[in-house]
Amino acid sequence: MALTDDILATWRNPRRVLARMLDTGPREDRALVYLLVAVLVIYVSLWPALSRAAVLIPEVPLTQRLVAAFFGVLLLVPVAYPLAALSHLASRAAGGQGTWHGARIALFWALLAISPLMLLRGLVAGLIGAGLQLQLLDLLVFAGFLWIWLSGLWVAEFRGT
């Protein structure tokens, strides 16, 4: 299945999609690609807001904002691995029987699956700016991320029990 089809299917049934991914066996290359593509999309989603800020406050040029945002988003990579490990340890303490790889796939896929909402959030931040609409969209992005991540983590840790 295409990546975009999997993302769309994840919003309908995240457990089924993640179970299918885990059934292909441990593929660390795929996990890393999910994380890197998610980081790239999150970075691109910041561009409209950075552009708006550069117009409103011209003392800080857009290039400087883009470089700073790039390095900030790039920090997600070394933070994601320990976060996935902590989620695996917490699941293990609760009786989970999954693997470290399953916990990584659950987290990295959740980051990638929310990418359409992140792009929408970026457009709202760039075109409308701060306000109730952006706050509601932030809440929706966070709730969607948690729903997909925890559903995937459940499949990765408790599917066989």
Rounded CA-CA distance 34/117 in Å is 16
In this predicted structure, the answer to whether residue 48 has a pLDDT above a threshold of 90 is yes
Q: Tell the residue number behind the tokens 């457990």, with chain if given.
A: 15
pTM: 0.87
**What secondary structure does DSSP assign to 84-121, as a single string?**
HHHHHHHHHHTT----HHHHHHHHHHHHHHTHHHHHHH
- Say which DSSP state 57 is in: S
As a whole number, mean pLDDT of residues 18-24 equals: 86
Query: Chain-wide mean pLDDT for the chain?
Result: 89
Q: Tell the residue number behind the tokens 């299917």, with chain if given.
A: 9
For the record, the structure tokens of 156 come out as 């990765």
In this predicted structure, the answer to whether residue 161 has a pLDDT above a threshold of 60 is no
Asked whether the beta carbons of 26 and 99 are under 8 A apart, the reply is yes
As a whole number, mean pLDDT of residues 56-64 equals: 90
